[in-house]
Amino acid sequence: MRIYAVAALALLGLLFAWTPIAERIDLSLLDAQFSFLRKFEPKPAPDDIIVVGVDDRTFKEIPEPLGLWHEPLGRTLAKIAAAKPAAIGLDVTLPDRSFDNMRPGLDRLLMAGLVSARENGPFVVALTIDSRNNAARNIHLPFLAVLQEERLGIALFARDADGTVRRFSLAIPTEDGTFPTLVGRLCRAVQKKGCRDGFIDYALGQPFRYVPMIEVLKSNDAQYLEKLFKGRIVLIGETQRFSDRIAVPVNLAGWETTKYDAPGVVVHASALRTAMHGNPPEEVGKPFKIILVSLAALLFLMANWRLALITGGIAAAALIAGATFALHHGHVLDIGAALATLALAWAVRTAHDAWNARRERDRLRTEFAGFVSPAVLRGILKGEIRPGHLGERRSLAFIFADLRGSTAMTAQTTPEDAMTLLNRFHQAIGTAIHRHDGMLDNIRGDGVMAVFGAPKPLPEPMRKAWAAVEDMFRGLDRLNAELAREGKPLLTMVAGVAYGEAVVGHVGARDRFNYTAIGDAANVAARLQDQAKKKGVRVMVAGPAREKVPEAPLEAQGTLLIDGHEAVEGWGWR
């Protein structure tokens, strides 16, 4: 049965593994792992990529719209090219038409910058995709003629289900085959071989810094520009806060405080650095996921839910730590389904234990309800009464009740009839005792002992006891009415009631004991029962108990001498 439960849990975990919820969990865990590694275990990488940012300052100092930045952009490209960078990547959309009719010579100024960048060495321009038709945006033919196809790269990233960019590609499938991305063109132009795509390693290298484009444009210090750009890959793109932003797990723009989105040019820089210097993390195969889920399902086999909780917590921590370690070494491990299976296995284990405990309580209630008082049984089932508990001192009320003339009655009838009659008697008075929260401590043939105030504490135990006494005699009256109709002798009962401090707890051996109360008041109540017979009253109450129920219709019986005890004031109820 247990092995079937484990198999069912594993199957549910595997089915969950291929749901969108599991994917979101895996992505969130991956982001958390990248953030942790970024903070505590960043990987070293050469600082050979620099960003030239088209920022707010640049937009402020160049009054024309970006589409008319032919001259500033051309001059910037020329200055960067003169500084001998290793490569230039332009993540700015080039115009799709001529604007010479607005200002003659604009096209020529931009073309001059494109030519300078091309002649310096590797130069790639972003080819943007129109989201309306998934087609590449046009570039003005003269500019395209300067660049030619081999200097164009698609500026596009695949987004996961939550819209976040975590992967990059060196080439993207097209109708005619594949077309290189901006990152793919630059990597292969600089490195020739060894470029790999996959997950962007957000723990690789230091955060990027940028130089404002307007600063490059205005600078006439060739040595300064050469110090910035020589031998490095220069990426030019927008760095404004609300333009060309991409959702990322970790923002590597060193000049920003926002965590979860970055300028597009920074994401290109992160992907390029991973392709050139990193080990793009790769997803571990599905068989390993199946193994993890199956192992997680074994949590159900723990002895109880507490052990399952501890073991499950340790297993979950180990999974997260292991996945983070694997990511640090270039492997993406999806553990969302395994964690969910651990949680499910613990929940099922807990529900199973709760069901078993409830079934055991029901069994105990059924089998032992007739052997102990309901109050004691409730205490046992709630764990309030357990073997080994030390005694507890409380103020309690005691009732001792006994049938008069029971010896003669049993001599005149068969044992079977006598037992039946006694059972009817005890049913009547036992019901009254339990109705008023009393504990039926024990039954001795035709007598009973009842305690009020234990195991359930009562604010006024004596009032409960007196109400029970009245109810006991009403129950006896109803029983006598039945006996009269049956033509049988009527029953007569006397009782003694006392109140005082006593100790409640277990009395007996380790393997056989009773939950009872011991105290002077219990002894007094037992003796008062005998005094009731002598005085001819139904109930005899001791002085301290009388004070707790002043409204009770009791008559003073004077001082009563009790064997083995000092005299007490007695009050009787006829």
Q: Are 37 and 327 in contact (CB under 8 A)?
A: yes
Q: Where are the alpha helices (DSSP H) in 456-560?
A: 461-486, 520-535, 543-548
Q: In this structure, are 66 and 199 located in the same domain?
A: yes
Q: Is residue 383 part of a domain?
A: no
pLDDT digits (tens, 9 = 90+) for 339-377: 999 999 999 999 988 888 888 777 766 655 544 556 655
Mean pLDDT, the chain, whole residue set: 89
426, 465, 488, 496 from 415: Cα distances, Å: 16, 32, 15, 28
Q: In this structure, are 521 and 548 located in the same domain?
A: yes
User: What angle, rounded to 10 degrees, do the helices at 286-297 and 2-17 form?
Assistant: 140
**356 three-class SS:** helix
Q: Is residue 165 part of a domain?
A: yes
Q: In this structure, are 114 and 185 located in the same domain?
A: yes
DSSP state of 261: E
- What domain range is 159 assigned to? 44-277
The domain boundary residue, chosen from 261, 277, 293: 277
The domain boundary residue, chosen from 211, 245, 277: 277
Q: In this structure, are 161 and 270 located in the same domain?
A: yes
Q: Beta 245-247 vs 261-263: how paired, if at all?
A: antiparallel
**C-alpha–C-alpha distance, residues 353 and 362, integer Å:** 14
The domain boundary residue, chosen from 226, 257, 277: 277
How large is the average pLDDT for residues 428-454? 88
For residue 29, give every residue at least 6 positions away whose Cβ sits within 8 Å of its Cβ, in sequence order, or none.
320, 323, 335, 336
pLDDT band at 301; cut points 50, 70, 90: confident
pLDDT band at 152; cut points 50, 70, 90: very high
Q: Is residue 376 part of a domain?
A: no
Q: In this structure, are 325 and 408 located in the same domain?
A: no
Q: How many domains does the chain have?
A: 3
Q: In this structure, are 34 and 48 located in the same domain?
A: no
pLDDT digits (tens, 9 = 90+) for 18-60: 999 999 999 999 999 999 999 999 999 999 999 999 999 999 9
- The count of residues in the chain is 574
Q: In this structure, are 176 and 68 located in the same domain?
A: yes
282 pLDDT higher than 80: yes
Give me the residues paired with residue 496 across strands: 400, 540
pLDDT digits (tens, 9 = 90+) for 233-275: 999 999 998 888 999 999 999 999 888 899 999 999 999 999 9
In the chain, the N- to C-terminal Cα span, in Å, equals 65
Q: Is residue 375 part of a domain?
A: no
Q: In this structure, are 424 and 553 located in the same domain?
A: yes
pLDDT band at 320; cut points 50, 70, 90: very high
How large is the average pLDDT for residues 154-174? 93
pLDDT number for residue 371? 46
Q: In this structure, are 107 and 180 located in the same domain?
A: yes
Q: In this structure, are 289 and 270 located in the same domain?
A: no
Residue the block writes with tokens 């993890």: 292
Our CA dihedral for 54, 60, 61, 63, rounded to 10 degrees, sits at 100
387 pLDDT higher than 60: no
Q: Is residue 481 part of a domain?
A: yes
Q: Is residue 203 part of a domain?
A: yes
Q: In this structure, are 185 and 206 located in the same domain?
A: yes
At 399, which amino acid appears? I
Q: Is residue 378 part of a domain?
A: no
pLDDT digits (tens, 9 = 90+) for 74-120: 999 999 999 999 999 999 999 988 888 888 888 999 999 999 999 99
**343 three-class SS:** helix
Q: In this structure, are 226 and 351 located in the same domain?
A: no
The encoded tokens of residue 542 equal 């001791």
7, 295, 547 from 4: Cα distances, Å: 5, 14, 66
pLDDT digits (tens, 9 = 90+) for 127-148: 998 877 777 888 999 999 999 9
Q: Is residue 505 part of a domain?
A: yes
The encoded tokens of residue 220 equal 């006439």
